[in-house]
Structure 1
Amino acid sequence: MASSLKLFSEESGVPKTLRIGSRLDKYRIVRRLGEGGFATVYAAHDTIEDRRVALKIPDSRYVSNPQSVDDLQREVRIMAMLNHPGILTLRDARFVEGHFVMVFPMGEETLLDRFSRRIARANAVDYALQMIDAVSYAHEHRVLHRDIKPENFILFPNQIVRLTDFGLARVQRTGKHVSASGTLGYMAPEQAMGHPDFRSDVFSLGLVLYRLFSGELPDYPFEAPLPGYQKLRRGLSSEFVALIRKAIDPSPKRRFRDAIAMQNAVRRIRFPLSDRSVTQTGRSETTSRISHRRVA
């Protein structure tokens, strides 16, 4: 597939200028959702299937670089192999009028957007369980995400959360080191040193959970007391608080070895909330449905 991507890239011609309202094949661009260092994400309308979609379109200069094409190839293959309700589905990936276009279902907002409004404790637990489940699934398939942050969790109706953006992801091989790429603020210290592993994803996920429940993002190196720690503890069981603290331990050896171990630990917490209003045996309808579909 790598060679075919390069072939299409070479034959794709001059990229079409993208404007709001313009068309790329059957997709009509509606608005720009966000822009990163390598790609822009647009909201679009699929005029054939009559549905909203999100288009991730890497910069044409990025696509013209052979190494970058290999990176795109890797991202596409990783997302194609992950089939889980908590991971955003890649619907299509191909060159269209000079642009490499990746097509995804259109969510409502990112978790970062959702942080701007109050989140009920029970809903936050629901989000947390789904996020841990999604990262655990990726780790089961040896996929190291390397860029877990609130912007990369997309919210859908009925409290559904899905992990996306596997642009930095790698299928982890024993003893193999990769670059120190990631997002400052959520990057584990060993990842910043160029030695990420599954514990690094656990650290990043732990910081997302810490911010979800406390409204604060601690700056590394952490100093006691952690900002927002009292708010973090408010309404959460001591076991759930301890789980988050273990996930963000600066020492990799003291963290969960991967999100699979983290999920196993959270399943042993029967009452995530101190008032026992949410139980692992009687989760919310959303989380129960996620778990059932995972087993199926």
Structure 2
Amino acid sequence: MNNYKILGRAGEGAYGFVFKGVDLRTANLAALKKINVNQVGCPKSVIREILALRFLRHKNIVKLLDFISLKTCMVLVMEYLPTTLYDILSKNDLVLSLGQVKAYTRMLLKGVNYMHQNHIMHRDLKPANLLLSKNGILKIGDFGLARIYDHEKRRLYSHQVATRWYRSPELLYGSRTYNLSVDMWSVGCIIAEMVEGKPLFPGETDIEQLAMVLGTLGTPNNKTWPGLTQLPDYNKISFTYAKPQPWTSVLPEADSGTIDLISKILIYDQNKRLTAKEALNDRYFKQYPLPCKLSQMPKIDEIETNESPCDFSEFDIYETSNEDSL
């Protein structure tokens, strides 16, 4: 830790704070994610994140620079990225052009495709976990829920993953045998949110979330969703019959190309959703307007971030023994 100087607090996660720091050896900025470690030991999610980020090296995935184990905490040192897609979408006076939406979508899909080619599910894709560099490059972050996926081995996964608004319907019905397409459902929701400027399915409970999805895509059956009736929570609740809504009314701000892409991702049958590779080859990216260049993307300097000065006692390694001090 002697190599880093803390400049302020940049955010807060499930297991601790994220601090903005500087590497004294290179003068480069870094994000230091501090995770408190209790008597039980390091949380599994932290170990998974370290392993995933050590393995994944791609320009659209956040880079892990170092990790440091101390007596009371662990510190993950990552490249510093000043803002997120969530911050962009939360800026009321900023409306993304279609070319900008396509650029962000393409960068997201490239990162997802690389993850999936390397058999890793992210399981928590959302705007707040899509970080943006100063020059506008989108990078996927927060791999705390990531898991290895092997299509040749049938294994059970937890269905309590993904932030509710971006959670696929099979997860909402309690499936534990899902596949990589849960990430693609999240991608479809994110694309729609970029176009409309608001979340597509903002449910306040899991039941309301599922009702919103069914109310949009229509009541599923075994033809549109093979294996539906075998899902663990299928018989626990029933919904009023609903007809599928036309995507033109669901996404009034979207052009025909965007609607065509989203409609091939947001479908019930997980085995028929577009893969990230298929989506990258979709005509959506070949139609006018083309994806913007980085120089045409929103200016990061104009986006408000969550950085704030910190009370250094929050970073409690300052107060430990000399062995653990900065």
Fold conserved between structures, TM > 0.5: yes
Equivalent of 1:125 in 95, 98, 102: 102
User: Which amino acid is 1:153 matched to?
Assistant: L
User: Which amino acid is 1:241 matched to?
Assistant: I
Summarize the Cα distance change of 1:200–1:286 in structure 2 as closer, same or farther, 3 Å threshold.
Answer: farther
User: Which amino acid is 1:191 matched to?
Assistant: L
Contact 1:31 1:42 in 2 (8 A): yes
Partner of 1:48: 25
Residue range with higher mean Cα deviation, 142-151 or 242-251: 242-251
Equivalent of 1:175 in 134, 138, 154: 154
**For this pair of structures, how many residues does the alignment match?**
248
Partner of 1:36: 13
Name the SS for the 2:123 alignment partner: coil
1:137 maps to 2:95 = no
C-alpha deviation, 1:216, in angstroms: 2.4
C-alpha deviation, 1:253, in angstroms: 3.7
What's the C-alpha RMSD, in Å, of the aligned pairs?
A: 2.3
Contact 1:126 1:284 in 2 (8 A): yes
Name the SS for the 1:252 alignment partner: coil
> Sequence identity of aligned pairs in percent?
24
Summarize the Cα distance change of 1:114–1:270 in structure 2 as closer, same or farther, 3 Å threshold.
Answer: closer
Partner of 2:280: 263
For the residues of structure 1 that align with 2:18 and 2:180, how far apart are their CA atoms? 27
For the residues of structure 1 that align with 2:285 and 2:162, how far apart are their CA atoms? 34
Name the SS for the 2:254 alignment partner: helix
1:230 maps to 2:252 = yes
Partner of 2:40: 65
Structure 1 residues 23-72: Cα deviation after superposition (integer angstroms, max 9, x where no partner)? x43222222222222232111122232121111112233xx434x44432
Partner of 2:184: 202
For the residues of structure 1 that align with 2:105 and 2:277, how far apart are their CA atoms? 14
Contact 1:198 1:259 in 2 (8 A): no
Summarize the Cα distance change of 1:93–1:119 in structure 2 as closer, same or farther, 3 Å threshold.
Answer: same
1:251 maps to 2:269 = yes
Name the SS for the 1:165 alignment partner: coil
Equivalent of 2:135 in 158, 170, 182: 158
Q: Gaps spanning 5+ residues in structure 1: where?
A: 1-23, 288-296
Structure 1 residues 177-224: Cα deviation after superposition (integer angstroms, max 9, x where no partner)? 211222110111212314332111000011011101111222232433
1:278 maps to 2:296 = no
C-alpha deviation, 1:73, in angstroms: 2.4
1:191 maps to 2:166 = no
C-alpha deviation, 1:228, in angstroms: 5.7
For the residues of structure 2 that align with 1:277 and 1:189, how far apart are their CA atoms? 32
C-alpha deviation, 1:137, in angstroms: 0.6
For the residues of structure 1 that align with 2:120 and 2:126, how far apart are their CA atoms? 16
Structure 1 residues 92-145: Cα deviation after superposition (integer angstroms, max 9, x where no partner)? 012146321111111121000011222232122111111011101100000000
Partner of 1:113: 87
Partner of 1:14: none
Structure 1 residues 223-259: Cα deviation after superposition (integer angstroms, max 9, x where no partner)? 33667611122xxxx2332111221223324412x32
User: Which amino acid is 2:266 matched to?
Assistant: I
Summarize the Cα distance change of 1:191–1:126 in structure 2 as closer, same or farther, 3 Å threshold.
Answer: same
For the residues of structure 1 that align with 2:191 and 2:149, how far apart are their CA atoms? 24
For the residues of structure 2 that align with 1:175 and 1:149, how far apart are their CA atoms? 27
Q: Gaps spanning 5+ residues in structure 2: where?
A: 202-211, 217-244, 297-326
Give the alignment's TM-score, normalised by structure 1: 0.76
Partner of 1:291: none
For the residues of structure 2 that align with 1:73 and 1:104, how far apart are their CA atoms? 15
Summarize the Cα distance change of 1:36–1:70 in structure 2 as closer, same or farther, 3 Å threshold.
Answer: closer
Residue range with higher mean Cα deviation, 133-142 or 42-51: 42-51
User: Which amino acid is 1:101 matched to?
Assistant: V
Name the SS for the 1:135 alignment partner: helix
Equivalent of 1:239 in 252, 257, 265: 257
Partner of 1:76: 50
For the residues of structure 1 that align with 2:47 and 2:284, how far apart are their CA atoms? 39
